[in-house]
Amino acid sequence: MEFLKCEVLNEILPTGLPYGYLVLINGDIGMGKTLLVKIIAKSAIQRGDSVLYVAFDDDPAAIMEDLGTNNVFIIDGFNLSDRYRVKNPNIVDYITDLEPSQFIGKINNAVQGRSIKVLVVDSLNDLIVNVEPRALLILLKQLKALSRRYGLLTLTVAHTTTEDVSNLMSNLEYVFDGVIEMEFDENMANLGIPIRRMRIKRMRGIAHSLNWFYFTTSRGNIVPVDVNEVRNMLKSVLESMGVQLK
């Protein structure tokens, strides 16, 4: 099995992400999911892989600014109207209808002949809110089959901000080969310290840590945080103010 190593995941997934896998990255808005998939995509580009990015949430121009234009191909689902489409050699196709068969068909066509190794779908939410659960299940299974057929590492993002979306994705998690969760650390958030964390909830057949990886974001990167050090610093500050902690 071939793996894509990504430095930011080394602590919790030392083997790297397996090609041929369908991976879900979920969490609330603002947790760093898009940043994570872009970091993984950059790792792939640096090793010479080509990336196909299905852009629903982000303008293709912003994606090219972040990833560059070498070995990057985009299916534009951000600009659904013909009126706003931008012609660019990196944009290989356009989503014109939020319909599962068109979505799968355009990915299948774009992958052929381009040596694509990493597929990013950011995000699934446009499809989640526009198709019934059964159709979404079929779409995900077709996406998994494509990943196997072409040896793609497929990274799908889901914003589980609402309870409906969160429950739906929980019910569909079994379809994915791997699930990465991202969230705020509630204890730190209650103290006004916005520290995020992520974990590998599941990665089929691959050894991985079950521990949370704590981080913050800075200048387009994910930066590890020693949460115990933060707690000790906070304790020292509070004690210097006369607040005694048990």
72-76/17-18 β-pairing: unpaired
pLDDT of residue 243: 61
Q: In this predicted structure, what is the pLDDT of residue 227?
A: 77
Q: What is the pLDDT of residues 170-185, one digit of tens each?
A: 999 999 999 999 999 8
Cα(22)–Cα(154) distance, integer angstroms: 5
194, 188 Cβ separation under 8 angstroms: yes
User: 3-240, superfamily in CATH?
Assistant: P-loop containing nucleotide triphosphate hydrolases (3.40.50.300)
Which residue numbers in the chain have pLDDT < 50? none
Strand 91-94 and strand 72-76: the pairing is parallel
CB 154 within 8 A of CB 23: yes
Please provide the DSSP assignment of the chain as one string: --EE--GGGTTT-TT-EETT-EEEEEESTTSSHHHHHHHHHHHHHHTT-EEEEEESSS-HHHHHHHH-STTEEEEE-S--SGGG----TTEEEE--S--HHHHHHHHHHHHTTTTEEEEEEE-SHHHHTTS-HHHHHHHHHHHHHHHHHHT-EEEEEEE--SHHHHHHHHHHGGGSSEEEEEEE-HHHHHTT---EEEEEEEETTS----S-EEEEEETTEEEE--HHHHHHHHHHHHHHTTPPP-
What are the C-alpha distances in Å from 77 to residues 125, 136, 244? Answer: 12, 17, 54
Q: Are 22 and 147 a contacting pair, CB within 8 Å?
A: yes
For residue 228, what pLDDT is reported? 73
Mean pLDDT of the chain: 91
Domain ranges of the chain: 3-240
pLDDT, tens digit, 9 for 90 and up, residues 116-152: 999 999 999 999 999 999 999 999 999 999 999 999 9
Q: What is the pLDDT of residue 47?
A: 94
Q: Nearest Cα to 73, choosing from 62, 61, 89?
A: 89
Q: Are strands 116-122 and 91-94 parallel, antiparallel or unpaired?
A: unpaired
Residues 37, 122 contacting (CB under 8 angstroms) = yes
Kindly report the pTM of this predicted structure. 0.92
